[in-house]
Amino acid sequence: MNYQIEWHYQSPKGSELQFQSASIEANEALKIVEDLEKTGRTKDVVIIDEQGQRWTLKEAKKFLQEVETEPYDIIAYFDGGYDRETELAGVGVVIYYKKSKSEYRVRQNIQLEQIQSNNEAEYAACLYLMKQLEELGVHHIRVVFRGDSQVVLKQLSGEWPCYEEEFNKYLDRIEEKMKELSIYPVYDSISRKQNQEADQLASQALKNISISSHKKV
């Protein structure tokens, strides 16, 4: 979780300048704000979160204390695979997150029927990921979504249109769940090699190897 800091500097002669910092880690931002206020030459100090919401120092501290007991700094990977011979699909998801200043990893997969193609398996994997995020208790926070399916990620971001009615139904369900959980998404298209963990889980699901892991890393 990152914050930006915005403040007015007042010189001894009374002139003022407005400054805005780069995006920095939340706890570090709070320390900097405290140091700035000690100078006695700043006013109207505002902390800006990743969704553009503006906080006072007191409000930001309270919010950070609350969210530290919930998942934050979330990076979520998904992948789907399809076997034409068996007409089965396998989907896998990996979620990295922090909670109470510790880091965790979730690895989950499932085998699916009634999937018609590899493309559909990718949409199904992303929808499955949303369900896992909900079960994890993720809400009102930024989530980085990573996958090797540019189509799914570009369509979710609005960069590419979707003309297939069946795939639009998946997109609607994914976006509805994001809205319900108040998730602020960041989409990051990666290579298959970079998506190796989720890819392996999807392949294992196709072989009917079930994986369900949630542990500290």
pLDDT given at position 89? 98
Instruction: Specify whether 9 is located in the same domain as 94.
Output: no
pTM listed for this prediction:
0.82
The pair of three-digit structure tokens given for residue 156, joined into one six-digit string:
């979710």
How many structural domains does the chain have?
Answer: 2
In angstroms, the Cα distances linking 156 to 82, 145, 188, 189 are 21, 10, 11, 12
Q: Cα(19)–Cα(37) distance, rounded to whole angstroms?
A: 14
3-class DSSP assignment, residue 31: helix
Instruction: Specify whether 10 is located in the same domain as 107.
Output: no
In angstroms, the Cα distances linking 31 to 10, 47, 58, 110, 149 are 20, 12, 12, 44, 39
Nearest to 205 by CA among 76, 86, 75: 86
Distant-in-sequence, close-in-space partners of 171: CB < 8 Å, separation ≥ 6: 123, 155, 156, 162
CB atoms within 10 A of CB 39: 9
Domain extent, residue 156, equals 72-216
pLDDT given at position 78? 98
CB atoms within 10 A of CB 4: 17
Task: Look at residues 14, 33, 67 and tell me which one is the last residue of a structural domain.
Answer: 67
pLDDT given at position 196? 98
Name the region of 183 (left: φ>0; alpha: ψ -120 to 50; beta: rest): beta
pLDDT beneath 70: ranges in the chain: none
User: 31: number of CA atoms within 13 Å, CB side?
Assistant: 6
Nearest to 91 by CA among 55, 127, 59: 127
Instruction: Indicate which CATH number applies to the domain containing 197.
Output: 3.30.420.10
pLDDT given at position 68? 77
Task: Look at residues 19, 34, 67 and tell me which one is the last residue of a structural domain.
Answer: 67
Residue 77 carries which side chain, given as an amino acid letter? Y
